[in-house]
């Protein structure tokens, strides 16, 4: 057994889409919906010994001023069936999907994720998100919206309830002894009761304990409430902080919060999303990155980027002109709907942007290049390997969630060129240690909560 002196980099892969980063105009761009696209990315990532393939979710098409937004990629498949199908064409890579805790009930989510865990031999993970907007709610019978203050309450109770359901079958509940005729060891298999502020449910869960027992739970969240929620319950955090300085601060904060919840630093992994642009030289990569940014930030994309913050129709403003001299209008109906609003304070954001634009003489286009997400890793394969390794070894994170601006083949060059360099330096596995996601991530296997308080009293 070899001892590892270096932290092992955790890699996840996502399929870019429904954002301005993914270039549908590129000649190499393929389908965003055909299964072959997802198969290609997942198999490429598995070839690169990635920990997991990650699939995001959408529950409403984005709209601008009440009209479906036409200028970026739109349309996604449903998360779970894609992951289940990918389980057929991969053998080791984890399969993690975003599933909304607001518009799904715990019983169905628990059985779907546990089913995926069985169907993949222990490779399932769930990225927990919540929705609060009535725009998305209009697609569901639940309708309406969830007050912001209740989002985490519902999310926390959903996760707790789902864990209860996952724990409702003992590991050895199924005997399946043909001779004795005993299929179940216990007539109570799957019995559960859960009472909380959001849920009052009881009965029998249909899915036996899955290979991972508890599939891996991933969360995102940067507010203090979100950080505590993740630090207390998540196995991994999908973070927005891909630079070393920001990453280190977030990393230290989360691991410290986790300790307060009695969890060790190895029990929660931190993984920012990161794009990359590979070149033959630094100059070549930077030139490519600049060209990609120009394609990503079309006039319409720039307009929408700023409309999201101003919450006003800015179509009259020249993208090559100055910033609008009017204030944001937070009271108006949202002009951009169906995409996450990432800016905390509209007025403060605009104030900072005006300062930056004045200082550097930036037009709207120039500002958009500065403030909207850039690829975290731009350089030669060796440079990217160095930076990524340093990011992990210096505790900027435990790894990254890598996406390419070209779907589906963009990840190939990362796997062909960067992965071998990471493997050479001993920072990335050359083969999988296990067939379960939890093991590959180096996460401890949580014990089943066998107490299941209340079950005996009810029955």
Q: Which residues are annotated as a binding site for FMN?
A: 98, 148, 152, 223
CB-based contact 199:181 (threshold 8 Å): no
199 Rama sector, left if φ>0, alpha if ψ -120 to 50, beta otherwise:
beta
d(CA 432, CA 89): 16
């969830």: which residue's tokens?
A: 146
Min separation Cβ 102 and another protein, Å: 11
In the shown chain, the binding pattern of residues 132 to 171 toward another protein, with x for contact by CB under 8 A and - for none, equals: ------xxxxxx-------------------------x--
d(CA 105, CA 119): 21
| Residue 24 interacts with another protein (CB under 8 A): yes or no | yes
| Residue 457 interacts with another protein (CB under 8 A): yes or no | no
Nearest to another protein of 105, 394 (CB atom):
105
d(CA 350, CA 346): 6
Could you say which of 13, 42, 45, 73 contacts another protein (CB under 8 A)?
73
DSSP-assigned states of every residue in 96-134: EEEEESSSS-HHHHHHHHHHHHHHTTS-EEEEEE----H
Considering only residues 416 to 455 of the shown chain, the ones binding another protein according to CB under 8 A are: none
| Residue 182 interacts with another protein (CB under 8 A): yes or no | yes
Min separation Cβ 304 and another protein, Å: 12
Considering only residues 285 to 344 of the shown chain, the ones binding another protein according to CB under 8 A are: 298-300
3-state helix, strand, coil in the chain (%, to 5): 40, 15, 45
Min separation Cβ 416 and another protein, Å: 24
Min separation Cβ 204 and another protein, Å: 4
Nearest to another protein of 308, 383 (CB atom):
308
d(CA 120, CA 49): 17
Per CB under 8 A, the segment of 206-214, 266-274, 347-355, 399-407 that binds another protein is 206-214
Nearest to another protein of 105, 329 (CB atom):
105
Sign of the C-alpha dihedral, residues 238, 46, 163, 57? positive
Considering only residues 210 to 249 of the shown chain, the ones binding another protein according to CB under 8 A are: none
Helices (H), 167-213: none
| Residue 77 interacts with another protein (CB under 8 A): yes or no | yes
Nearest to another protein of 222, 409 (CB atom):
409
| Residue 115 interacts with another protein (CB under 8 A): yes or no | yes
DSSP-based three-state secondary structure for 10: strand
DSSP-based three-state secondary structure for 412: helix
Instruction: Using CB under 8 A, count the residues that bind another protein.
Output: 76
Considering only residues 186 to 205 of the shown chain, the ones binding another protein according to CB under 8 A are: 186-187, 189-190, 199-205
Min separation Cβ 75 and another protein, Å: 4
d(CA 40, CA 345): 40
Phi and psi at residue 345, in whole multiples of 5°?
-135, 115
Could you say which of 21, 40, 49, 76 contacts another protein (CB under 8 A)?
76
Per CB under 8 A, the segment of 113-121, 249-257, 274-282, 308-316 that binds another protein is 113-121
Per CB under 8 A, the segment of 46-54, 116-124, 249-257, 341-349 that binds another protein is 116-124
Two tokens, residue 293 = 């940014």
Min separation Cβ 223 and another protein, Å: 26
Whole-Å CA distances, 185 to 175, 211, 247: 6, 18, 48
Nearest to another protein of 25, 331 (CB atom):
25
Nearest to another protein of 187, 245 (CB atom):
187
| Residue 359 interacts with another protein (CB under 8 A): yes or no | no
Nearest to another protein of 148, 204 (CB atom):
204
Whole-Å CA distances, 190 to 119, 185, 207, 426, 452: 19, 12, 8, 44, 10
């Amino acid at each position: 057994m070899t001892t590892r002196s270096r932290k092992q980099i955790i890699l996840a892969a996502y399929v870019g889409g429904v954002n301005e980063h993914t270039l549908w105009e590129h000649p190499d761009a393929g389908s965003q919906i055909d299964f072959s696209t997802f198969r290609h990315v997942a198999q490429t990532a598995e070839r690169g010994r990635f920990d997991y393939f990650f699939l995001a979710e959408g529950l409403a098409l984005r709209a601008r001023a009440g009209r479906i937004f036409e200028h970026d990629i739109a349309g996604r498949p449903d998360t779970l069936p894609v992951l289940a199908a990918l389980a057929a064409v991969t053998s080791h890579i984890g399969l993690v999907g975003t599933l909304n805790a607001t518009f799904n009930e715990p019983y169905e989510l628990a059985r779907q994720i546990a089913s995926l865990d069985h169907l993949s031999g222990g490779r399932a993970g769930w990225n927990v998100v919540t929705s609060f907007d009535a725009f998305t709610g209009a697609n569901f019978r639940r309708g309406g919206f969830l007050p912001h203050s209740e989002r985490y309450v519902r999310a926390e109770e959903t996760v707790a309830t789902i864990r209860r359901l996952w724990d409702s079958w003992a590991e050895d509940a199924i005997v399946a002894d043909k001779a004795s005729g005993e299929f179940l060891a216990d007539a109570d298999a799957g019995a559960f009761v859960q009472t909380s502020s959001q849920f009052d449910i009881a009965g029998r869960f249909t899915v036996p304990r899955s290979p991972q027992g508890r599939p891996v739970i991933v969360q995102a969240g940067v507010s203090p409430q979100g950080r505590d929620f993740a630090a207390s319950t998540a196995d991994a955090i999908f973070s927005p902080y891909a630079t070393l300085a920001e990453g280190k601060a977030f990393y230290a904060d989360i691991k410290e919060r986790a300790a307060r919840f009695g969890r060790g630093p190895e029990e929660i992994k931190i993984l920012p999303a990161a794009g990359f642009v590979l070149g033959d030289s630094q100059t070549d990569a930077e030139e490519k990155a600049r060209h990609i940014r120009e394609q990503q930030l079309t006039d319409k994309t720039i307009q929408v980027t700023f409309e999201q913050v101003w919450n006003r129709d800015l179509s009259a403003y020249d993208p090559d002109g100055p910033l609008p001299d009017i204030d944001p209008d937070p009271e108006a109906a949202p002009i951009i709907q169906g995409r996450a609003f990432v800016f905390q304070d509209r007025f403060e954001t605009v104030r900072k942007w005006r300062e930056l634009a004045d200082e550097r003489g930036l037009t709207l286009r120039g500002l958009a290049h500065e403030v909207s997400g850039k690829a975290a890793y731009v350089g030669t394969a060796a440079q990217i390997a160095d930076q990524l390794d340093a990011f992990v070894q210096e505790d900027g994170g435990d790894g990254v969630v890598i996406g390419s601006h070209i779907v589906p083949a963009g990840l190939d060059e990362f796997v062909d060129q960067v992965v071998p360099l990471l493997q050479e330096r001993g920072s990335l596995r050359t083969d999988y240690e296990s067939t379960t996601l939890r093991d590959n991530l180096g996460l401890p296997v949580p014990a089943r909560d066998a107490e299941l308080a209340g079950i005996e009293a009810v029955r």
